[in-house]
A and B are shown apart, each in its own frame.
Chain A
Amino acid sequence: MKRTAGIAEGGVAGAAGGLVFGATMGVFGMLPTVASIVRTDSVEVGFVVHMAIAVVIGTGFGMLLVRRRVRVSETVFWGLLYGAFWWFLGPQTLLPLLRGNAVAWDLAGARTVLPSLFGHLCYGVVLAAVFVMTRRNHAATRARWRFDAVGRGAVAGLVCAAVGGPDLGRLVLGAVVGACYPLLFTARPEATGPALIRGTLYGFLWWVLLRLSLEPLLRNGSLDWSPDTSTAAVDQLPGYLLLGAGTAVLFTWFGALARGLFVDDVRTFQAEAPGGRGLRATGYGALAGLAGGVVFTAVMVLVGALPTVARIMGASSPAVGLLVHLVISQVIGVSYAVLFRRRSFDLVSGVGWGVSYGFFWWVLGNLTLLPLLTGGHVDWSAAGLAAGFPSLVGHLGYGAALGAVYQWLESRANPWWVTRSEAEAARAAARREQVLGSAPALWVLTVLIAVTLPVLVG
């Protein structure tokens, strides 16, 4: 019964998403391509076929998520992931096959259908939003937002934007991005680590919305998601990612500070004091960071990046570079332990958080801090991002090893999911549900952004 309802709601949501996606396809003249599945080039037929596909795919989404108790914002990430996945499966795989061609699994083909990627993302967002709204018990998943949270978000966004310099436009953008954060994600207290990853993707959404969509729309009067425009816009992607991540982190910290100072009911403080197992956790973080650093070292040695790292200390020797690299690896490992303690419960979740954190550190560390610390200039252009791709792979490898080793160490010392009573099991289940709310979608979206960078930068 529930599954049937999910299929119906997914179909409706798919139709809504299909309308938005179809409109963008109309703009880019892609509907005849869809119509060619039924051996015609009619736009109208193409739209009908497109809508039929959108409904069918929407039912799949409904079947997947009907049993999950997820909030609107979390479902949005699932929608984004679902859309991104269908970009690989649809226009690159099934569409060519249905048209009687070979699959278009090459970079040139992927760049050709790049506008379709953003269309799929739009489809996913609308699909998810409508799906949640049509759920019969959607009241249980609806969260209220508060004005104080909006103000807190605006201040967080403003502070983050101010780091980039006192540019009025940037400050306004930061305040708007920050104010919208609690509107989308509510003021629900959460750990800093997951907020950081969610914020990174929140920044990506703003990049797609503002830089990639609204800006050309306002300038030229039409959408322009072409490969060349996307490549030109990529220079602002790291900035948006950092703005989103910083806003989410500051928003979380401001909330924790406010609760710590002004809330006198200790029942609201569920978290264990950090001194208990926190010290051990930081040790584990250093160890896991070292393991990740060793993995990353292989990349650095092969691409000859160690002398660059050594320049942080004013040296050029690879040995110094290795030392600095391993120290940084451990420091980041400790920060991982602080931010993501008790957030993993199996290998995949550990790796998921780890690679997401590794990606964040590629943006902050490799693309931003490293040039500043070594006397260079920050280069966020497409060429700069392309040049940093080996480092991105290293950061993802580092994150995977960090997350996996940390999860293994934590499971030996503090397996929080092992419970002794029904009450404890309920608490663990609630935590798992919170972790799994949107976390898997966040992890996968993060790595998909990472591995599709070659498509974006051309």
Chain B
Amino acid sequence: MRDGAVRTVVGAVAGLVAAVPVGLLLGTGPLWFAVYSLVVGAVLGLARRQDTAVALAGGVLVGVLGWLSFSLTADPLLHGDAPTWSTVAAASAYPALVADLLHGAVTALLLALLPTRARVHGEAVPAKRIVIVGGGFGGVAAAKRFERLALRGAPIDVTLVSDSNFLLFTPMLAEAASGAVEASHISAPVRSAVAHTRFRYGRVDSVDTTGRTVHIGSESLRYDHLVLAAGSVPHAFGLPGVREHSWTMKNLADAVRLRNHVLALLERADVEPDSERRRELLTFVVAGAGFAGTEVVAELFDLVHTVSRYYPGVGQDESRFVLVHPGDRILPELPAELGEYARQRLTARGIECVLGVRVVEAEADRVLLSDGDRIATRTFVWTAGNRPSPLVDLLPRPSGDVGPLVTDAALRVTGLDGVWAVGDCARVPDPANAGKPCPPTAQHALRQGKTVADNIAAAIAGREPVEFRFRTLGVLVALGHRTAAADIRGRLFSGFAAWLLWRAVYLAKLPGIEKRIRVFLDWTLDLAFPRDIVVTSAPDKVDAR
């Protein structure tokens, strides 16, 4: 029996025992007073254990409230009369007031005098050590859920390990790169997001699944259950020069650096006399037309064109934006008509969508495409490939098994006892699409985080974990100035309405009300003031990747 149930029963019994002398003095109907006593006793049994004085005060308080609820309210109703709560009614119920008051005190006294072992049944159960690796959506969601479970009495001791001390709201990363929102406003400190979870800022060096230990530098953390939510990192597939010469968009630093780089290029282009060289400086190539790539190219377009008035040496038609994608349409995650809509909107603004072509090589000042085309550029953004965090390679896996950690439907990593995985680093089967894994989206990672916490609590309690089941709520993509596309459970939106929806949904999803207010203010100020063109890094660092 759970601790709460035990305390309720013990309290009810104490209430019944206390009712005997008080009921005899009151001389009222024994049945009703017994029922009343059971309820009051159960309430007092559930209360947090304090010393005798506080317990007695609580007993008197509950007794008086019981009098108000029962004698002044329920009793007239049970006799078919409407309660009046008048002083006359209070006067006639005065005997019950003294009785209830004394009954509450005696019940509380009995509970306070009970031996500690009987009062706090199950407190001696040692807490299970749980280590969560990763401070992204999945990891933080799991930690939040564990906090709730701990409040309900789950015997757990949770530590979250992350190499960044903030939760990044990745859907707004492109806006941060374009300066539409302040970069720090789309991230929330992990320590405040999960204020009651132990946090370790650091990178996991190794995991000993046999000894159940995680090593962070010289520190070792033992675990009973390990939750891997390490996310993913950019993957260049070994293409020559891509890793060295591309900008990525996975974290806050990437966004800040890219913004600084673009503004520094504008500064250079403004004083560059050679038109070919200026053209090279003002050409921006983005590889991969998924959500990230499409949003980045649209935001870069907005950034360059909204600040160009400050750069008289830069012509309106000198900048070039190229979105390279190997598929036959952009945004393959969206229905075809929305993908086509997005392509048309981007093309109408002058963004080139090069489809059916891959980037095969990159250099410092050019990008080579699979069709043989060479694009001279100083800005090449790579969003065309991700792979699970290198952390997954630290785990013992069957030979030849690469990519995300394979889990069962309950999020347990196959072949590793006590190890669970969620988010981008996991391949979680999707019951709704047999044979296919869940898509690597934030909304899935969030739900997987909650489910893994529930499943671990279930495993600790000896119950069977449940399958992870979640149907995508919808997908939204911003296409730059006042334009977006959205698919909400099959209902398609585009244009200004979708843009409003995008902003409303993501504003609501931002972690913490403070960040919501800050981003809302950023957007509001953006309506009245020009975009900031301050370059925050040193001039010689703007090209550094």
Contact = CB atoms under 8 A, between A and B. Distances in A.
Assign chain A's interface to a size class: 35 or more
Given A451-B64, A451-B90, A415 B147 contact: yes
B102 A89 contact: yes
A103 B28 CA distance: 13
B94 A436 contact: no
A455 B86 CA distance: 13
Contacts, number: 135
Interface in A415-453: 415, 418-421, 436, 440-441, 443-444, 447-448, 451, 453
Given A302-B83, A418-B147, 14 more contacts: A67-B51, A85-B60, A275-B514, A280-B513, A299-B85, A302-B82, A393-B73, A394-B85, A396-B65, A396-B68, A440-B57, A443-B61, A444-B57, A451-B64
B85 A393 contact: yes
A414 B195 contact: yes
A303 B61 contact: no
Contact of A348 (B51, B61, B69): B61
Given A92-B98, A390-B84, A348 B62 contact: yes
B90 A348 contact: no
A407 to B, nearest CB: 11
Interface in A284-337: 299, 302-303
Nearest to B199: A420
23 contacts: A64-B53, A68-B51, A85-B60, A88-B102, A89-B102, A105-B99, A303-B85, A346-B47, A347-B46, A389-B86, A414-B195, A415-B151, A418-B147, A419-B196, A436-B50, A441-B57, A443-B61, A444-B57, A444-B61, A451-B90, A453-B87, A454-B94, A455-B94
Interface of A: 63-65, 67-68, 78, 81, 85, 88-89, 92-93, 103, 105-107, 110, 275-276, 279-280, 299, 302-303, 345-348, 351-352, 355, 386, 389-390, 392-394, 396-397, 400, 411-412, 414-415, 418-421, 436, 440-441, 443-444, 447-448, 451, 453-455, 457
A110 B57 contact: no
Contacts of B65: 351, 355, 396, 400, 447
Given A81-B57, A352-B61, A355-B65, A64 B95 contact: no
A415 B196 contact: yes
Interface of A is mostly: helix
Interface of B: 25-26, 43-44, 46-48, 50-54, 56-58, 60-62, 64-65, 67-69, 72-73, 82-87, 90-91, 94-95, 97-99, 101-102, 105, 147-148, 150-151, 192, 195-198, 513-514
Contacts of B97: 105, 451
Interface of B is mostly: helix
Contacts of A411: 151
Nearest to B158: A420
A393 B91 contact: no
A443 B95 contact: no
Closest 10 CB pairs of A and B: A440-B57, A105-B95, A390-B85, A346-B48, A393-B85, A107-B91, A418-B196, A64-B53, A454-B90, A454-B87
A64 B212 CA distance: 48
Nearest to B195: A414
A351 B46 CA distance: 14
A304 B25 CA distance: 36
B64 A447 contact: yes
B25 A93 contact: yes
Contacts of A280: 513
A85 B87 contact: no
A418 B151 contact: yes
Contacts of A68: 51, 53
Contacts of A454: 87, 90-91, 94
Contacts of B44: 348
A106 B54 CA distance: 28
A397 B196 contact: no
Contacts of A400: 65
A272 to B, nearest CB: 10
Given A65-B53, A397-B68, A106 B94 contact: yes
Contacts of A346: 47-48
B57 A420 contact: no
Contact of A443 (B57, B83, B87): B57
Contact of A447 (B50, B61, B148): B61
B85 A389 contact: yes
A196 to B, nearest CB: 18
